[in-house]
Amino acid sequence: MVMSLIPGPEDLYLFHEGNLFQSYRMLGAHLTIEAGVSGVRFSVWAPHAREVRVIGDFNRWDGSKHVMQKISLWGVWSLFVPNIKEGNYYKYEIATSGGATLHKADPYAFWSEVKPGTASRIASLEGYEWADQAWREKRKTTSAFHGPMNIYEVHLGTWKKKPDGGYYTYRELAEDLVEYVKDMGYTHIELLPLAEHPYDRSWGYQATGYYSVTSRFGTPKDFMYFIDRCHQAGLGVIMDWVPGHFVKDDHGLRRFDGEPLFEYNDPARADKPEWGTLSFDFSKPEVVSFLISNALFWMDIYHIDGLRVDAVASLLYLNFGKPREMWVKNTHGGDENPEAIEFIKKLNRTVFGYDPHALMMAEDSTAWPLVTAPVHDGGLGFNYKWNMGWMNDMLKYMEMDPYFRGGSHSLLTFSFMYAFSENYVLPLSHDEVVHGKKSLLNKMPGDYWQKFANLRVLYGYMMSHPGKKLLFMGGEFGQFDEWKDLEDLDWEMLGYDSHLSMHRYVRDLNHLYLREAALWELDHQPEGFAWIDPHDQKQSVATFMRKSSDPEDVLVIVSNFTPVYHEHYRIGVPYAGEYVELFNSDAGEYGGSGKLNSGKLKTEEIAWHDRPDSLHIGLPPLATVIFKPIKIKRKRSKANRGRSRADA
């Protein structure tokens, strides 16, 4: 509990200017002491209201007892109510200028009633004793760009459920999920949105409580415990964040004080018919204060390491997802939303000013340039962008009959043309395994064995491709059904050999990734990649190198996307000497056919792929194989060899 939190003139000025970036410390419901009396200071922005009252279980929901005072010309109302404690329920009762009475949840509430209830709850966010200091110090000295990043994307409500169908709590997940993710070799957990939301099947993307971590799984301090345990285990946490739109439920932000407030005044600009939601009005400074404060809130209060910003395309373009009859133009006659663009830039400048090591990832499906360039260099200011182009091309390619993939070889290789134009994350996310799209395994063509082999070669190729990685839960054991967003994953599949072998494969592939700096140290630099052969479309094979800052730390990757075994396949290599097969997705323990390259492989002075030395290998069917030099043979020039003989 803290001393009085009466909003001061400076904070009010900054809020109305769009520059109060910790507005959650002024607005909302705060346990405090005023004039020696314990209670709660309530403050809310409602400029169109005729009157605002606090109602709750402490006054039998009778607003006449607690009428708020307007303390700002631009509509901030405030009131101290004594003798309220943590856990009490409340709402704002708003008398509109049109004569209606609305009951609204607090936009800045820290805790919410368990669904289907819609009230806000009093919560203290102080007093939790964090034990993640080592993690937070490590973040300050570790570059995300030059380190491994392998993200496990999770929907907490359906990762696992209890036998009675109930949810696991944040504290239970802090044990089970954290241990599982760490053992599987991931570096980060990405959580689908956890802001309070009324409808389970929105997955959190249609929120009512932007500052309220969902009560489905416990209390705010339970969530702190979950994050703390992630950090203690060496796992970063990224949360999906949704500034593009909000839900229309009556108790939420829509027409909050009887008039459009958080949304645009113009219905054509406000409405998002594709999702049944409303867009934030980025021209209103108070909305900018609300949203940027919210981004910082999750990092400040909950120690979140970064945000994956959802649906950036819907921010950048006014008419995204709208039928033509609803299209509008900006003042220059274009489709871009200049206010949202400025908001994005301001958001990223502010976040990195607060935490230079934060992760700000754009889920952007457009070709907008310089998404991950700094704002001062003309960019949007994110530090990562999801590579939706790679994902779409690869899944289209993988769904083809392998015998016809050669005609679409460019789908396999085109991503390398732009791989270093942004800082990319390669995502195989929840969006690709729901709404009739089928699971990743079930997208794969062929018989039962070929489906698993196709998925293994895809994962091997993904892990070798430049860019950080993301896989949605269930993909690691080859869930056969698409994601069922009201049920938990099909963990019983691990009782079948093929799925257990896939699970083992992904775990081993993840740990290989962690060990090999060539797979991540130069992810965003052309120097970290080189083609060996991008042109073998006839056999649907791609061969390339990944390199670290050590010039001799090289991996040679060969991916065969047909079910044909090439017993005699030759590849050019960067160095003469001896190589070993470091990894082979066709290994028997992974469910493959066991076509391995055993022992030491010696190069031959046979020029191949424009290189003086080459390896003769067996190339397994539908497999990714990785080779590494273990002994490099130094070649002397003819002149040097001559001098050596003379000296002898």
Active-site residue set? 310, 363
Q: How far is CA 500 from the centre of its chain?
A: 26
Q: Which residue has the tokens 């709402």?
A: 91
Residue with tokens 């871009």, as numbered in its chain:
336
The C-alpha atoms of residue 272 and residue 207 are separated, in whole angstroms, by 14
Query: Residue 470: exposed, middle, or buried by beta-carbon count in 10 A (0-12, 13-18, 19+)?
Result: buried
Q: Which residue has the tokens 């080592």?
A: 134
Is residue 116 reached through a cis peptide bond, with omega within 30 degrees of 0 on the bond before it?
yes
Query: Residue for token digits 């346990």?
Result: 31
Angstrom distance (rounded) from CA 408 to CA 464: 20
Element of type H or E holding 590: none
Amino acid (one-letter) located at 2 = V
DSSP conformational letter for 604 = B
Chain-centroid distance, C-alpha 399: 25
**Rounded to an integer, what distance in angstroms lies between the CA atom of residue 396 and that of residue 377?**
35
Contacts of 190 (CB under 8 A, 6+ apart): 151, 152, 153, 154, 237, 238, 239, 240, 308, 470
Residue 401, burial from CB neighbour count under 10 angstroms (0-12, 13-18, 19+): exposed
Q: What angle do CA 268, 257, 15 make, to 5 degrees?
A: 90
Contact 440, 455 (CB under 8 A): yes
Which residues neighbour 605 within 8 Å (Cβ) at sequence distance 6 or greater?
576, 612, 613
* DSSP-assigned states of every residue in 327-370: ----TTSSSB-HHHHHHHHHHHHHHHHH-TT-EEEE---S--TT
What are the structure tokens assigned to 527, written together?
């120097």
Compute the distance between CA of residue 45 and CA of residue 71 in angstroms, rounded to an integer: 10
Cα dist. 609→382, 410, 536, 625 in Å?
38, 19, 11, 18
Cβ atoms of residues 55 and 91 within 8 Å: yes
The runs of H, that is alpha helices, within 384-447 are: 388-398, 409-413, 440-443
